[in-house]
Amino acid sequence: MKRKRWYIVIAAVILSCAGAAAAQTFARTDAVETKSSGKINWTVGEVYAKGIGSPPARAMNSAQARAMATRAAQVVAYRNLLETVKGVRIDSETLVEKYIVKSDVIRIRVEGIVKGARIVKKRHLSDGSVEVLVAMPMKGAFMNAIVPDDFGSSTVTPLPVKPAPISPAVPEPKPAPSRPEPSKPMPSNRPEPPKPAPIPPPPSSPSTTVFSGGIATGVVIDGRGLGLKPALLPRIVDPQGSEIYVGQVVTRTNAVEQGVAGYAKDVKAAANNFRVTDNPVVMKGTRAVGNARTDIMLAQADAVKLRNLSGKGDFLQHCRVIIVY
């Protein structure tokens, strides 16, 4: 009987731990950055942090003790979340912490957003304490508080739609008079000359592995092996350092609502992500640039190609960009 009771206790502990792990289980292809105070999932665009609270000795009953422990855990979780958020890179020059220190307005707005983070999981521990996991999205209110007011293109001009040319009416041709069929030549006994071997098509560029031609619906930049670091406002530049993508193309509204770029650890998963829809072009980055190495440089040929493709569609204007690192 005692052995059975121990099995039940052990099973309960295992299920409890499994539930807590499931609350913060990330996909294998998610780009997750771990900080001492929490985690940043750059693929889903959320920041996570935990907090543990212990019941006070002065609690009148177990229900009150649990409620006070939960409240204490939330306070610690929000504090850890704020510390994690401070370490988020805005661009290659700036952390969120710099903006918070420089502006009381930004600090108050960010602290308010952090305190409004949702509770993902609550777990009651065996000693009466409570563990709380909170999560905060980086898109929306947080991006609106952090992204500078003068960021981005002022307007997005839609590409003009050219009307299809109208062909002039062509009179229906009269049927040609019938002619007698020419006599077929007599077969020759000489052997036919050998046909030349077909010339194989040139190999496709290794930088583009998914794009099937036509209008591109997004771009995936493979930045693996470059020491690249994720940021809220990453730039794509050419070998001369001229910007191809971000503030010159994207409006502030699109940046705030959609996020400038998504991140992943796997090229195939990135190319199949809904963010870049069904016909993305995949390009290989050559260098990670900028002080914090958050910007990515393309080879000259790919830089020209990306500019040409973006001129035919609006995928860059709508932030349909995923960076693999």
In whole angstroms, what is the distance from residue 297 CA to residue 302 CA?
Answer: 10
DSSP state for residue 103 in the 8-state scheme: -
Residue 152 pLDDT exceeds 50: yes
Q: What is the pLDDT of residue 207?
A: 47
Least confidently predicted of 112-121, 208-217, 316-325: 208-217
Q: What is the pLDDT of residue 65?
A: 86
Identify which has the larger pLDDT, 88 or 193.
88
Q: Is the dihedral of CA 237, 241, 243, 247 positive or negative?
A: positive
List all residues 6 or more positions away from 218 whose beta carbon is below 8 Å from its beta carbon.
Answer: 275, 276, 277, 279, 280, 281, 315, 320, 321, 322
Average pLDDT over residues 6-15: 41
DSSP state for residue 17 in the 8-state scheme: H
Least confidently predicted of 97-111, 148-162, 181-195, 290-304: 181-195
Residue with tokens 């932030």: 319
Residue 188 pLDDT exceeds 80: no
Residue 100 pLDDT exceeds 80: yes
Average pLDDT over residues 223-237: 97
- Which residues make up the CATH 3.10.129 domain(s) of the chain? 27-146
Residue 41 pLDDT exceeds 80: yes
Report how far Cα 195 is from the mean position of its chain's Cα atoms.
52
Beta bridge partners of 124: 130
Identify which has the larger pLDDT, 281 or 207.
281
Average pLDDT over residues 133-140: 98
Identify which has the larger pLDDT, 44 or 10.
44
What's the per-residue H, E or C state across 32-74?
EEECCCCEEECCCCEEEEEEEECCCCCCCCHHHHHHHHHHHHH
Average pLDDT over residues 260-282: 94
When pLDDT is cut at 50, 70 and 90, the band that residue 64 belongs to is confident
When pLDDT is cut at 50, 70 and 90, the band that residue 235 belongs to is very high
Residue 29 pLDDT exceeds 60: yes
Q: What is the pLDDT of residue 61?
A: 84
In whole angstroms, what is the distance from residue 54 CA to residue 129 CA?
Answer: 4
Is domain 27-146 in CATH 3.10.530, yes or no?
A: no
Q: What is the pLDDT of residue 158?
A: 44
Q: What is the pLDDT of residue 214?
A: 85
In whole angstroms, what is the distance from residue 302 CA to residue 296 CA?
Answer: 12
Q: What is the pLDDT of residue 203?
A: 39
Q: What is the pLDDT of residue 25?
A: 63
Query: Between the ranges 6-10, 232-236, 309-313, where is the mean pLDDT highest?
Result: 232-236
